Amino acid sequence: MEEQQLTRLNKYLSEAGYCSRREADKLIDAGRVTINGVVPEMGTKVAPKDTVAVDGEIIKNNKDSFVYLAFNKPVGIVCTTDTKVEKDNIIDFINYPKRIFPIGRLDKPSEGLIFLTDDGDIVNKILRASNNHEKEYVVTVDKPISQTFINRMSNGIPLEELGKTTKKCKVKKLDSHTFNIILTQGLNRQIRRMCTYLGYEVQTLKRVRIMNIKLDVPVGKYREFTKDEIKTLNTLLEDSTKTFQAKQSRNRREN
């Protein structure tokens, strides 16, 4: 069997639209994945004629018809695929006829745009932190917004609990209590933590854009990406992947 005909097991599950590579690694680690009825060793690759199953369910790798959804998540819905643990989960709420999973997350008290797909490879590309993809939010806080608040939010906030300082970002005041913010990183509860540091409390938080795709459906509804959106998205991802690879190559030369 030639090497190029073999596929890493986590990549196979990702390309089949079962889950992301990260989730696939967890399933493999837990011994829930089999190849031809046998639990494989870590690093085992899959041949075209192999039968891959998760918990006994055969997973077929069909790359031809991926689903890409733009969903307006309501407040109170959790971005998890673990339907057994969390009853207010995004998968049960949408009830889509194919197995899909969210790209990234949006906190339970937040609302707005989130992508769902069965294309595991695009998940990895979008989530890669080095890609600096823009995400735009509209946020309402509990007291009047000062120019000092805008300046400090824009220039980076030290988040000691995460051991990081936020990257510089674009922040614009919309009215006395509302601002627009465009981030290129996705730290845990980042905007809420930044506001708390400056003595403000977030009242509402809505994501209105991810990269080239804008929120344009009612709360609780979804739509498929247009062909033009997919084309532009793939171009952005291709460019950012090349930048990431060039950065890796440069770092190896310097070390």
**pLDDT-derived band at 1, boundaries 50, 70, 90:** very low
What pLDDT band is residue 250 in, cutting at 50, 70 and 90?
low
Residues 48-91: pLDDT tens digits? 788 999 998 888 766 557 899 999 999 999 998 777 777 889 99
Of the residues 107, 142, 216, 228, only one is catalytic, namely 107
β-partners of residue 53 are 34, 58
| Confidence (pLDDT) at 117 | 92
Q: How far is CA 242 from the centre of its chain?
A: 19
In the chain, the percentage of residues whose pLDDT exceeds 70 is 89
pLDDT of residue 182: 96
Q: Which residue has the higher pLDDT, 68 or 243?
A: 68
The residue behind tokens 């609990």 is: 161
Average pLDDT, the chain: 86
Query: Does the pLDDT of residue 138 top 90, yes or no?
Result: yes
Q: Is residue 254 predicted with pLDDT exceeding 60?
A: no
Q: pTM of this prediction?
A: 0.73
Higher-confidence position of 1 and 161? 161
Q: Which of 28-32, 69-73, 234-238 has the lowest mean pLDDT?
A: 234-238
Least confident of 1-5, 92-96, 190-194, 233-237: 1-5
Residue 2 has pLDDT above 50, yes or no: no
Active site residue 55: no
- Mean pLDDT of the 93-98 span: 91
Q: What is the DSSP string of 20-76?
A: -HHHHHHHHHTT-EEETTBPPPTT-EE-TT--EEETTEE-----S---EEEEEEPTT
* Confidence grade of residue 208 (pLDDT, cut at 50, 70, 90): very high
- Predicted confidence at residue 62, as pLDDT, reads 62
Q: How much is the pLDDT for 241? A: 57
